[in-house]
């Protein structure tokens, strides 16, 4: 047996074949036997073909077809061709899209682009063979013949889904089917982005953004447990970022790196991995402490960023960074204490105490207010009332996670669940199978769905909206940072949080809001914790718990 070279690395990804489920559109002319692509097919070019192939006429008015694979996919497609006489190769134009509008667009119309992955290209097809095309994030594919002869003949098209073959060790069910669906959709959104590294998006932003990873890691902890892709992404960003620089060029993202490490430490309890971070962690915390002035005001330099909706508002950015810096110093102090660095831990505590003495001006924006509440630098009741005001407006799919956590911390579970149902559920109402880079409920007014051609007189919820770096069709409709509700439902509604590293101890404090019941499981290094909560006629909640060996439940 010949072994691979020493430098070969085995991918952690598996490939799954996904057939198309629907023909969404065909050109008015030049298409024959479109429905044949929906028949069961062998995944093999055949010498004898029982069914008539799809025919797309070439020439000045080439034929075209749009296929729907039923769900968002990270991967590529395979196109199979039959035997023809005479032998001839044909060419096709292939467009991938996360919406029907995107798959119908030309670059650069309405934001359509080939950034990070080619979603629009012309390729040649073999005679009696198959061609693998693309690497992108998509649900829809448009195939057109080109102007060059001959006509295109295709016997089969299937998607190749690239996915980590890992089970759901966590689960969630409740008396609201809508919330159950949202939990599953958030899990699927993040699962798709668990590629070679933990990406932010599978179409655009196929990159490791450390700050954006925080909600993703929270989802992974709640659904899959400890995963190597998280450590690889944390270490990659650390190794390419000197302590004298900020991760991804953003000061907040270096702070999120610290907070993620505490989450991993508490969930998985891997002291050896934490020790490997000690030198960098200590140096980073020392540097951050230098950006807290004598009055406790953060003075961070570089790109001052919390989330895109607040980016142009310096008052909101300062308010948010003040809260985030406080959270990072709290996490850093606990981590350094676990590593035996008593002096470093004391310095972090002192910096956090100074930060809490400074009250930044209030911007009236939800993201910075939520971070301030979570950091303990504002009054929880008044801040929660402000967060609830106006309903699920002024949210970002990224930092909406912290708004949910802040509402939960302040005892506003019913409001948080209403936000999830209306805001994240609003994407599902538009035909989404994954959660988006950005969303505003106002976009849905007089707008069509993403899984159909936009009716005349209606707006396109994908192409006609968006700002900052995600204008129009450039906007990703599968963005890992948007999966936060999945983590929130597991950690807050089921009420399962680690009380000691590696879940040696656990707190189970359910918050049902208006739900009648909720049940589920949460992965730990010792096995899954399982709970069931039922609301009685008197409003009290009865809880049943199954703990794995070695996990102790604590209260308070």
Tell me the pLDDT tens digit for each residue of 437-491: 999 999 999 999 999 999 999 999 999 999 999 999 999 999 999 999 999 999 9
DSSP states along 364-399: --HHHHHHHHHHT-S-HHHHHHHHHTTSS-S--TTT
pLDDT bin (cut points 50, 70, 90) of residue 3 is: low
Q: Tens digits of per-residue pLDDT, 85-141? A: 889 889 999 999 999 999 999 999 999 999 999 999 999 999 999 999 999 999 999
pTM of the model: 0.96
Q: Is 552 within 8 Å of 504 (Cβ atoms)?
A: yes
Distance CA(83)–CA(460), nearest Å, equals 41
- Phi, psi for residue 151 in degrees, rounded to 5: -60, 155
Q: Which residues pair with 508 in a beta bridge?
A: 496
pLDDT bin (cut points 50, 70, 90) of residue 1 is: low
Question: By C-alpha distance, which of 131, 152, 158, 119 is closest to 18?
Answer: 158
Q: What CATH superfamily is the domain 13-164?
A: Galactose-binding domain-like (2.60.120.260)
Q: Is 471 within 8 Å of 438 (Cβ atoms)?
A: no
Q: Is 249 within 8 Å of 208 (Cβ atoms)?
A: no
The predicted structure's pLDDT at residue 222: 98
Distance CA(180)–CA(197), nearest Å, equals 27
The crossing angle, in degrees rounded to 10, of helices 342-357 and 278-289 is 30
The predicted structure's pLDDT at residue 149: 81
Distance CA(164)–CA(360), nearest Å, equals 43
Q: Tens digits of per-residue pLDDT, 422-446? A: 999 999 999 999 999 999 999 999 9
| 443 preceded by a cis bond (ω within 30 of 0) | no
Q: Tens digits of per-residue pLDDT, 322-373? A: 999 999 999 999 999 999 999 999 999 999 999 999 999 999 999 999 999 9
Start-end of CATH 2.60.120.260 domains in the chain: 13-164
Q: Is 519 within 8 Å of 533 (Cβ atoms)?
A: yes
**The token pair that represents 434 in the structure block:** 């994954």
pLDDT at 7 over 70: no
The predicted structure's pLDDT at residue 51: 81
């Amino acid at each position: 047996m010949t072994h691979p070279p020493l430098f070969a690395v085995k991918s952690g990804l598996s490939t799954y074949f996904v057939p198309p489920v629907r023909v969404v559109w065909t050109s008015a002319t030049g298409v024959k036997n479109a429905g044949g692509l929906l028949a069961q097919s062998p995944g093999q070019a055949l010498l004898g073909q029982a069914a008539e192939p799809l025919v797309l006429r070439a020439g000045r008015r080439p034929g075209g077809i749009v296929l729907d694979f039923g769900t968002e996919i990270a991967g590529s497609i395979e196109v199979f061709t039959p035997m023809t006489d005479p032998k001839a190769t044909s060419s096709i134009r292939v467009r991938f899209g996360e919406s029907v509008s995107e798959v119908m667009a030309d670059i650069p119309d309405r934001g359509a682009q080939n950034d990070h992955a080619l979603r629009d290209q012309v390729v040649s097809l073999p005679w009696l063979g198959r061609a693998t095309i693309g690497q992108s994030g998509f649900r829809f594919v448009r195939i057109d013949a080109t102007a060059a002869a001959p006509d295109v003949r295709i016997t089969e098209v299937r998607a190749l889904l690239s996915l980590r073959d890992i089970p759901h060790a966590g689960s969630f069910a409740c008396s609201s089917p809508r919330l159950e669906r949202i939990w599953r959709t958030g899990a699927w959104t993040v699962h798709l982005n668990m590629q070679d590294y933990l990406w932010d998006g599978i179409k655009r932003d196929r990159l490791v953004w450390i700050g954006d990873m925080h909600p993703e890691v929270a989802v992974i902890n709640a659904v899959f447990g400890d995963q190597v892709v998280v450590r690889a992404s944390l270490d990659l960003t650390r190794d390419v970022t000197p302590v004298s620089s900020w991760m991804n060029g953003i000061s907040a993202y270096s702070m999120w790196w610290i907070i993620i490490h505490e989450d991993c430490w508490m969930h998985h309890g891997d002291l050896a991995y934490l020790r490997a971070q000690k030198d960098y962690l200590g140096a980073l915390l020392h540097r951050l402490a230098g950006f807290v002035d004598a009055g406790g005001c953060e003075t961070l330099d570089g790109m001052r960023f919390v989330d895109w909706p607040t980016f142009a508002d310096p008052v909101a950015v300062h308010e948010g960074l003040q809260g985030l810096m406080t959270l990072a110093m709290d996490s850093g102090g606990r981590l350094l204490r676990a590593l035996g660095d008593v002096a470093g831990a004391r310095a972090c505590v002192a910096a956090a105490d100074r930060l809490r003495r400074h009250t930044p001006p209030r911007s009236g924006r939800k993201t910075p207010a939520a971070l301030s509440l979570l950091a303990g630098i504002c009054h929880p009741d008044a801040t929660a009332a402000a967060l609830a005001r106006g309903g699920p407006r002024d949210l970002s799919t990224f930092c909406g996670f912290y708004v949910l956590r802040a509402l939960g911390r302040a005892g506003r579970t019913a409001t948080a669940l209403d936000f999830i149902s209306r805001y994240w559920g609003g994407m599902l109402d538009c035909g989404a199978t994954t959660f988006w880079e950005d969303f505003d409920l106002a976009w849905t007014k007089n707008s069509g769905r993403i899984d159909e051609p936009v009716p005349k007189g209606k707006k396109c919820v994908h192409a006609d909206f968006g700002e900052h770096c995600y204008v129009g069709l450039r906007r990703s409709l599968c963005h890992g940072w948007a999966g936060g509700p999945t983590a929130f439902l597991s950690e807050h509604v089921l009420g399962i949080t680690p009380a000691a590293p590696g879940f040696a101890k656990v707190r189970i404090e359910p918050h049902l809001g208006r739900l009648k019941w909720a049940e589920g499981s949460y992965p730990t290094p010792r096995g899954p914790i399982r709970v069931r909560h039922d609301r009685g006629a008197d409003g009290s909640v009865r809880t049943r718990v199954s703990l794995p060996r070695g996990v102790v439940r604590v209260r308070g």
